[in-house]
């Protein structure tokens, strides 16, 4: 190929990367292929009670003694705007005990922002957690449920939310912890409303990465205590957060223009050491804008061309492919997609804090934080900061460093021996040890 041809090809690739897609403004991901179940759901309106199932289908599962379903249900975001979320329910077969089976709510880690990124969409999703990055990973994405075989053997109902925007229509509010947490709570309401599951009220929530934010985003009691839902009275007795985020730690003492601008700079710098982490940071801002569409524009923090390219990328591709797209098209110049100075900084800073884990309110239940010392995706300092803040409020937060050199992606498997006995004790009604008493 001639130099002239190479130059023309490069120009074409750049133009394609930057080209806007008109349909994305109203219905991002509307052209993304999803299975028929989700095609039907995306045409529905979010009318009904919180947790009300609007579509379900029974699916196969390789787990002995278990039955499974895909579900779509009514949820709402942090602004109380009704939404539709999809997810997965796995329950033991046979007659449930008196009082019903305890429930485990699973909040998954980052899969992406497009409609096709919901973990329940993969073929045969009702199985043990599968991680893309691990050697034994067998898919292009993370899917499945953590330690689900043991949970089923011990008589638990396990429900995993996809979160809104990952198969149910609308823009996914990625890493907006309070919205993701509400999706998880409503998933439990949905599973509890199904007579087939035999679910009771006692519930433990467990999440990893984005899902750890979801877990702690659901930790305030007012939303859990709402009446008139599809399944009132959920008793949330424990919260397990693996590799947790706390984006509110970036907030300055004073959120004026100078403080907000510094916050955006610090947040972007901390998450832009490579194109992979930059993709997560940009996805986060994309999700924050989705939560506050009347107050924020992507072009406030990204260049006009950058905003168009990232919007199209995230609306069409899941996280690993989106990261590859950024790396392919921009290489080491990915930071050029951002404005040197953010616009509308105060609104952005307030939105990030509003959607983040709330470290100013005592959680409704004891918290267990598990982390690896080599986690660079969710630096352990976030969990330490959260624990300090919550302990000062009279909360109960136990924080455990996992043995060995554990990174972000080894955390879920290595955490199992630590969270299983802790969950059993919470379900049994035993008081949690005082996690704030340790140094």
Tell whether 302 and 231 lie within a shared domain. no
Tell whether 420 and 313 lie within a shared domain. no
Tell whether 186 and 272 lie within a shared domain. no
Per-residue pLDDT tens digits for 88-127? 999 999 999 999 999 999 999 999 999 999 999 999 999 9
CB-CB contact of 285 with 298 (8 Å): yes
Strand order in the sheet with 397-401: 53-59, 66-76, 82-92, 157-164, 101-107, 199-208, 235-242, 367-371, 397-401
Q: Could you identify the residue written with the tokens 């880690």?
A: 109
Contacts for 434-439: CB closer than 8 Å, 24+ residues apart: 434/396, 435/366, 435/367, 435/368, 435/387, 435/391, 435/396, 435/397, 435/398, 435/399, 436/387, 436/390, 436/391, 436/395, 436/396, 436/397, 438/398
Domain boundary among 322, 353, 384: 353
Task: Please indicate, yes or no, whether the overall pTM of this predicted structure exceeds 0.75.
Answer: yes
CA 2 to mean position of chain CA atoms: 46
Which tokens is 229 given?
Answer: 């839902």
Domain boundary among 319, 353, 387: 353
Residue among 215, 222, 251 at smallest CA distance from 369:
215
Residue at 4 is within a domain = no
CB-CB contact of 34 with 326 (8 Å): no
Tell whether 258 and 208 lie within a shared domain. no
Tell whether 320 and 206 lie within a shared domain. no
Buried (b) or exposed (e) across 148-186, using 16+ Cβ within 10 A? bbebbebbbbbbbbbbbbbbbbbbbbbbbbbbbbbbbbb
Which tokens is 437 given?
Answer: 């008493």
Tell whether 182 and 327 lie within a shared domain. no
> Which regions of the chain are under pLDDT 50?
1-29
Tell whether 45 and 180 lie within a shared domain. yes
pLDDT of amino acid 24: 32
Tell whether 297 and 382 lie within a shared domain. no
The total number of residues shown for the chain amounts to 439
Tell whether 205 and 113 lie within a shared domain. yes
Residue among 82, 284, 273, 265 at smallest CA distance from 172:
284
Buried (b) or exposed (e) across 36-47, using 16+ Cβ within 10 A? ebbeebbeeebe
CB-CB contact of 259 with 349 (8 Å): yes
pLDDT of amino acid 271: 86
The number of domains in the chain is: 2
Per-residue pLDDT tens digits for 168-181? 999 999 999 999 99
Across the chain, what does the average pLDDT equal?
92
Q: What is the extent of the structural domain holding 256? A: 252-353
CB-CB contact of 13 with 46 (8 Å): no
- How many Å apart are CA 439 and CA 436, to the nearest integer? 8
Coil/strand/helix, residue 3: helix
């Amino acid at each position: 190929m001639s130099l002239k041809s190479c130059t023309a090809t490069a120009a074409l690739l750049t133009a394609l990367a930057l080209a806007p897609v008109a349909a994305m403004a109203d219905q991002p991901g509307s052209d993304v292929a999803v299975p028929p179940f989700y095609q039907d759901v995306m045409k529905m309106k979010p009318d009904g009670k919180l947790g009300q199932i609007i579509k379900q289908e029974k699916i196969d599962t390789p787990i002995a003694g278990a039955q499974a379903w895909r579900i779509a249900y009514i949820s709402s975001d942090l602004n109380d705007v009704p939404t539709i979320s999809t997810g997965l329910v796995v329950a033991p077969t046979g007659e449930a005990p008196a009082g019903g089976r305890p429930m485990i709510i699973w909040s998954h880690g980052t899969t992406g922002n497009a409609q096709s990124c919901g973990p329940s969409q993969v073929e045969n999703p009702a199985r043990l957690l599968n991680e893309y990055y691990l050697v034994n990973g067998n898919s292009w994405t993370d899917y499945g449920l953590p330690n689900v075989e043991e949970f089923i053997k011990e008589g638990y109902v396990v429900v995993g939310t996809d979160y809104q925007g990952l198969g149910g229509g609308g823009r996914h509010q990625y890493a907006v912890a309070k919205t993701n947490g509400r999706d998880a709570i409503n998933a439990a309401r949905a599973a509890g409303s199904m007579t087939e599951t035999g679910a009771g009220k006692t519930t433990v929530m467990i999440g990893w990465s984005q899902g750890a934010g979801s877990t702690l985003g659901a930790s305030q009691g007012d939303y859990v205590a709402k009446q008139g839902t599809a399944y009132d009275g959920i008793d949330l007795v424990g919260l397990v957060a693996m590799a947790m985020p706390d984006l509110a730690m970036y907030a300055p003492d004073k959120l004026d223009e100078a403080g907000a601008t510094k916050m955006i700079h610090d947040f972007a710098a901390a998450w832009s050491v490579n194109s992979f982490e930059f993709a997560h940071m940009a996805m986060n801002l994309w999700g924050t804008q989705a939560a506050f569409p009347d107050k924020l524009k992507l072009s406030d923090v990204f260049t006009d061309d950058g905003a168009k390219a990232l919007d199209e990328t995230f609306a069409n591709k899941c996280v690993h492919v989106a990261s590859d797209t950024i790396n392919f098209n921009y290489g080491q110049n990915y930071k050029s997609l951002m404005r040197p100075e953010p616009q509308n900084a105060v609104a952005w800073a307030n939105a990030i804090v509003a959607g983040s884990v709330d470290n100013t309110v005592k959680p409704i239940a004891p918290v267990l934080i598990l982390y690896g010392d080599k986690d660079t995706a969710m630096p352990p300092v976030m969990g330490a900061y959260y624990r300090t803040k919550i302990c000062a409020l009279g909360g109960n937060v136990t924080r455990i460093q996992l043995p060995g050199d554990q990174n972000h992606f080894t955390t879920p498997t290595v955490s199992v021996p630590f969270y299983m006995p802790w969950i059993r004790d919470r379900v049994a009604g035993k008081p949690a040890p005082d996690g704030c008493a340790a140094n």
